[in-house]
């Protein structure tokens, strides 16, 4: 359907638009979502419509995701009593499509000596013939971090509502010099050729972050391996939430966590404690030595790739046997204050789950929102071959600008006027994004989107690209600049940026997909080569004024744009279990 029309194009000179005291007027598209709201953050203006969020209170890490007997299970770190961290339980929801969810009773509560002060993060493993088990970190009555197991109380219950913690817990205690405050987050287990199970557990020993390795023949008795799965050789923050899984060298298909062959690489992911960022290294899993061998042995975490260069932490993947894919979950923290969380009554959410696979160049992972989210798309807008001239500002009209999915291709007929790249910028993409922001004219770019924009553009988040020439290749800078996202001073508005690893001359275009959901903007650059997620809290939401999306080009060359955009319907996060239409043979 092509519902947008060139006659509604609005062109103005770009230097007017970034709010430097000049009023520019555009015809107003009234966002129905924005009406009827009083000016207080207690209203639901910042609440998302299609991201996973419980109705209230605090949520952080994704835990134990799995597919079992026709249902996707999702557990998460949850405080049932408040919108701040504390009193952590495992909450539990089930789904048939990863988008609409039915909440169940809390799965794990801190009730036993081996988890009296908290049931912290962990993973699920499906034991062939025996069904799923959960491994999680308990904070014991002695305030030590230990690793525990829980099993379904009734395996015949298709929803796996209740979980039992056997008396032989804990499975792993912090012995052998492990610091009992830096020992947590067991991975999904994998089984190697010798028939024994393995798990990795995050730790820090003598200033080195590491993924400790444990083995077991029966899933009850575990022994620590003499060498960790992998350890940083230089000081690093503690590695939380390690994740370890195989990816195929060719193709998008996902693999069971135990798969290993010449056809796969392995991914080791760690969440850097207090840095709030998730990093990964690609390499091989040497089963004989039982260690991970990185392709490129750099232990400087600043050089590791990240799943997401914005607000994103404590992620975890699982293998989905139903659609043969590996799926990524990740926690999106707030960027407003704790007192705002208390006023809102909620804090935190999850990304739209992403399919994750290895790029054909073998050097990076690619990510894309699971196809099921497309079922929420409504009212397609389509623009063909629109020339976005230098200094252009173009409003994308007709979309529900606070709740949308936008896919744009920026075609680049010529790269000749690209600015020269200074190699000292290599390690600081966010710094370059702040310095050469959307308002700074470039050669090729900046071009991109202004999203969650107020009518006068006083508030907006700029998501954009800028091309540099670096000897005989081109560098693509991708940015998400939150500095003008809100007039509210107390919000964290840091600038995010990354260089895209792509052959621009060969491809001739850069794609951007942006999922906009009230206070979340998830960006996928270059077909999922780099992701940047931002949390934003525009003040104009509180005034119930209309929300807008624009495209802009502040370079010297035109870019030709193809765009599709959709309104997004609300996901249903509060389904009753009877409403889950599970295929009969599975249930």
Under the binding rule (CB under 6 A), the answer on residue 270 touching ligand NAG is: no
61 given a catalytic annotation: yes
Task: Confirm or reject binding of residue 276 to ligand NAG (CB under 6 A).
Answer: yes
Q: Residue 57: is the preceding peptide bond cis (ω within 30°)?
A: no
Q: Is there binding between residue 187 and ligand NAG (CB under 6 A)? A: no
- Nearest-approach distance from CB 333 to ligand NAG, in angstroms: 4
Q: Which stretch binds ligand NAG (CB under 6 A): 174-182, 254-262, 420-428, 573-581?
A: 174-182
Is 282 a residue that touches ligand NAG (CB under 6 A)?
Answer: yes
| Residue 258 touches ligand NAG, criterion: CB under 6 A | no
Strand 57-68 to 346-347 pairing = parallel
The CB-side HSE value for 57 (13 A sphere, CA atoms) comes to 14
Least separation, in Å, of the C-beta of 180 and ligand NAG? 7
Q: Binding string, 348-377, against ligand NAG, x = CB under 6 A?
A: --------------xx--------------
Polymer length of the chain:
587
The SS3 call for residue 521 is strand
CB of 359 to ligand NAG, least distance (A): 10
**Size, binding site for ligand NAG by CB under 6 A:** 24
181 binds ligand NAG (CB under 6 A): yes
Q: Are the C-beta atoms of residues 85 and 79 closer than 8 Å to each other?
A: yes
Under the binding rule (CB under 6 A), the answer on residue 547 touching ligand NAG is no
Tokens of 219: 């899933």
* Secondary structure (DSSP) of 250-279: SSS-B--TT--STTEEEEEEEEETTTTEEE
Binding mask 454-493 for ligand NAG (x = CB under 6 A): x----x---------------------------x----x-
Stretch that binds ligand NAG, among 3-11, 322-330, 409-417, 536-544 (CB under 6 A): 536-544
Place of tokens 């770019």: 445
With binding defined as CB under 6 A, does residue 156 bind ligand NAG? yes
In the bound state with ligand NAG, the residue whose beta carbon lies nearer, of 155 and 234, is 155
Q: Are strands 365-369 and 520-525 parallel, antiparallel or unpaired?
A: unpaired
Per residue in 185-220, is it b (16+ CB within 10 Å) or e — as a string?
A: bbbbbbbeeeebbbbbbbbbbeebbbbbbbbbeebe
Q: Does 240 bind ligand NAG (CB under 6 A)?
A: no
Q: Give, in order, the Cα–Cα distances in Å from 149 to each of 24, 68, 202, 342, 451.
A: 60, 18, 16, 33, 45
Within 10 angstroms of residue 129's Cβ, the number of other Cβ atoms is 5
* The binder of ligand NAG chosen from 3, 35, 81, 154 (CB under 6 A): 154
Distance in Å, CB of 282 to ligand NAG, minimum: 5
Q: Does 559 bind ligand NAG (CB under 6 A)?
A: no
3-state SS, residue 432: helix
Which residues are CB-neighbours of 463 under 8 A, at least 6 positions away? 448, 449, 450, 451, 479, 480, 481, 512, 514, 521, 523, 532
Which is nearer to ligand NAG, 292 or 410 (by Cβ)? 292
* Backbone φ, ψ for residue 242 (5° rounding): -65, 155
Query: Does 401 contact ligand NAG by CB under 6 A?
Result: no
What is the Cα Rg of the chain in Å?
24
Per CB under 6 A, the segment of 176-184, 465-473, 503-511, 562-570 that binds ligand NAG is: 176-184
CB of 46 to ligand NAG, least distance (A): 13
d(CA 211, CA 219): 19
Please tell me whether residue 545 binds ligand NAG under the rule CB under 6 A: yes
CA dist 429 and 576 (Å) reads: 45
Among the listed residues 98, 186, 203, the one whose alpha carbon sits nearest the alpha carbon of residue 149: 186
Name the active-site residue from 31, 61, 185, 278.
61
- Give whichever of 289 and 363 is closer to ligand NAG, judged by the CB atom: 363
Q: Of 59 and 376, which CB lies nearer to ligand NAG in the complex structure? A: 59
Which residue lies nearer to ligand NAG by CB, 295 or 387? 295
363 vs 382, which CB is nearer to ligand NAG?
Answer: 363
440 CB-contact burial (10 Å; exposed 0-12 / middle 13-18 / buried 19+): exposed
Stretch near ligand NAG under the rule CB under 6 A, chosen from 3-11, 87-95, 189-197, 330-338: 330-338
User: Could you give the CA distance from residue 585 to residue 587 in angstroms, rounded to a whole number?
Assistant: 6
Given 333, 367, 403, 480, the residue binding ligand NAG (CB under 6 A) = 333
Residues making contact with ligand NAG (CB under 6 A): 154, 156-157, 179, 181-182, 276, 282, 295-296, 313, 333-335, 362-363, 454, 459, 487, 492, 539-540, 543, 545
| Active-site annotation, residues | 61
């Amino acid at each position: 359907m092509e519902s947008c029309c060139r006659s509604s194009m609005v062109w103005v000179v770009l230097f007017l638009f970034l709010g430097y005291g000049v009023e520019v007027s555009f015809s107003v598209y009234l966002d129905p979502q924005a009406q009827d709201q009083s000016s207080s953050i207690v209203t639901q203006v910042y609440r998302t419509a299609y991201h996973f969020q419980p109705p209230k209170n605090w949520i952080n890490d994704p835990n134990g995701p799995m597919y079992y007997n026709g249902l996707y299970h999702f557990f998460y770190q949850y405080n049932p009593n408040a919108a701040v961290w504390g009193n952590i339980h495992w909450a539990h929801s089930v789904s048939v499509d990863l988008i609409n969810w039915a909440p169940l009773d809390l799965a794990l509560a801190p009730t036993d000596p081996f988890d009296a002060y908290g049931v912290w993060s962990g993973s699920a493993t499906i034991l062939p013939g025996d069904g799923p088990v959960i491994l999680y970190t308990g904070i014991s009555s002695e305030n030590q971090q230990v690793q525990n197991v829980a099993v379904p109380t009734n395996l015949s219950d298709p929803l796996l509502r209740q979980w039992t913690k056997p008396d032989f817990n804990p499975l792993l205690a912090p012995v052998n010099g492990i610091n009992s405050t830096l020992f947590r987050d067991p991975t999904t287990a994998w089984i190697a050729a010798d028939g024994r199970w393995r798990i990795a557990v995050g730790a820090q020993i003598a200033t080195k972050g590491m993924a400790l390795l444990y083995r077991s023949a029966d899933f009850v008795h575990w022994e620590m391996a003499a060498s960790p799965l992998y350890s940083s050789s230089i000081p690093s923050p503690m590695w939380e939430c390690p994740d370890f899984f195989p990816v195929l060298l060719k193709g998008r298909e996902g693999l069971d966590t135990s798969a290993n062959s010449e056809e796969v690489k392995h991914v080791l992911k760690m969440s850097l404690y207090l840095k709030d960022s998730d990093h990964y290294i690609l390499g091989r899993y040497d089963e004989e030595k039982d260690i991970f061998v990185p392709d490129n042995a750099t232990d400087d975490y600043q050089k590791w790739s990240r799943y997401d260069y914005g607000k994103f932490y404590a992620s975890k993947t699982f293998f989905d046997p139903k659609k043969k894919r590996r799926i990524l979950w990740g926690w999106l923290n707030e960027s407003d204050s704790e007192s705002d969380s208390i006023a809102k009554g909620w804090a935190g959410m999850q990304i739209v789950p992403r399919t994750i696979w290895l790029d054909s160049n073998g050097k990076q992972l690619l990510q894309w929102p699971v196809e099921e989210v497309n079922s929420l798309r409504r009212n397609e807008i389509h623009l063909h071959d629109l020339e976005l001239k230098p200094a252009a500002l173009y409003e994308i009209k007709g979309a529900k600008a606070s709740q949308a999915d936008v896919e744009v291709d920026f075609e680049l007929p010529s790269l000749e006027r690209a600015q020269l790249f200074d190699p000292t910028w290599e390690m600081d993409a966010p710094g370059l994004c702040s310095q050469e922001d959307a308002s700074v004219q470039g050669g090729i770019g900046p071009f991109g989107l202004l999203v969650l924009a107020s009518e006068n553009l006083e508030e907006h988040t700029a998501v954009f690209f800028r091309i540099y020439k670096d000897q005989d290749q081109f560098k693509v800078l991708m940015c998400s600049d939150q500095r003008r996202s809100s007039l509210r001073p107390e919000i964290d508005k840091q600038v995010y940026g990354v260089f895209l690893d792509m052959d621009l001359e060969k491809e001739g275009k850069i794609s951007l997909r942006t999922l906009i959901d009230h206070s979340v903007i998830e960006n996928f650059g270059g077909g999922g080569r780099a992701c940047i997620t931002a949390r934003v809290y525009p003040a104009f939401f509180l005034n119930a004024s209309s929300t807008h999306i624009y495209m802009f080009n502040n370079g010297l060359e035109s870019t030709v744009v193809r765009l599709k955009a959709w309104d997004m319907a609300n996901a249903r996060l509060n389904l009753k279990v009877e409403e889950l239409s599970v295929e009969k043979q599975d249930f």
